[in-house]
Amino acid sequence: DVKVTQSSRYLVKRTGEKVFLECVQDMDHENMFWYRQDPGLGLRLIYFSYDVKMKEKGDIPEGYSVSREKKERFSLILESASTNQTSMYLCASSRRDRSYEQYFGPGTRLTVT
Amino acid sequence: DQQVKQNSPSLSVQEGRISILNCDYTNSMFDYFLWYKKYPAEGPTFLISISSIKDKNEDGRFTVFLNKSAKHLSLHIVPSQPGDSAVYFCAASAPKSSGDKLTFGTGTRLAVRP
């Protein structure tokens, strides 16, 4: 059974803290994605990566960075967390030749106080 | 600028009846469209897709219709079952030159009443 796992289901951090969200996939997928989901806004793409050490900005990259040192792992970094980054964060992966069929992790609900 | 729109935030349907979820898009470069389904506390899962060269794709109880001239697609679920209760996201993809991105709509929460 294919799997995308995220390091935490729930996370509470303080304003200004550096936050790391980890995502691991076991499907040998080339592509990996980070989204945030907010009520009334749907899923918005933060960053994506189509290969190790490669990254592309999505629609809302401000305040975030990413790291992909290994094919199976994609990390999202909030350099200095702010309250407007309180959200549900979803990681996904896909094959390069079927990039539209994305497999999602269960999400991390991040609260920044 | 919301390029993919789902104007109905919620829909309630009786079990056994048809559920119709709608989606509109503005970007004429989109060439592939998808529906994802999301249960609470889980990530979205891929449900069904359609290429822009087709106007209909069917998979069991699920059918997606595409009207390119109207920039509109819809998902039909027949017959609806209580287990179909979830949030449904419409998504669209542009050609490879735009990267491997999907643009998602805001979602429609479907409730199927027993």
d(CA A46, CA A90): 10
Q: What is the pLDDT of residue A2?
A: 66
Whole-number pLDDT of residue B100: 67
What are the tens digits of pLDDT across the range A81-99? Answer: 999 999 999 999 999 888 8
pLDDT of residue B99: 58
What residues in chain A have per-residue pLDDT under 70? 1-2
Q: What residue of A is the nearest CA neighbor of B37?
A: A104
The contacts of residue B57 (CB under 8 Å, 6+ apart) are: B48, B49, B50, B63, B64
Q: What stretch of H or E contains B48? A: strand B45-51
Tokens encoding B73: 């697609």
**What's residue B109's pLDDT?**
96
Question: What is the pLDDT, as a whole number, of residue A99?
Answer: 81
Cβ pair A48:B99 closer than 8 A: yes
Which residues does chain B have with pLDDT short of 70? 1, 96-100
Measured in degrees and rounded to the nearest 5, phi and psi for residue B70 equal -95, -5
The pLDDT assigned to B94 comes to 82
The angle at the Cα of A41, spanning A30 to A27, to the nearest 5 degrees, equals: 20
> Three-class SS of residue A27?
coil
pLDDT of residue A1: 66
Residues of B in contact with A51 (CB under 8 A): none
Chain A / chain B CB contacts < 8 angstroms = 62
Backbone angles phi, psi at A20, to 5 degrees: -115, 125
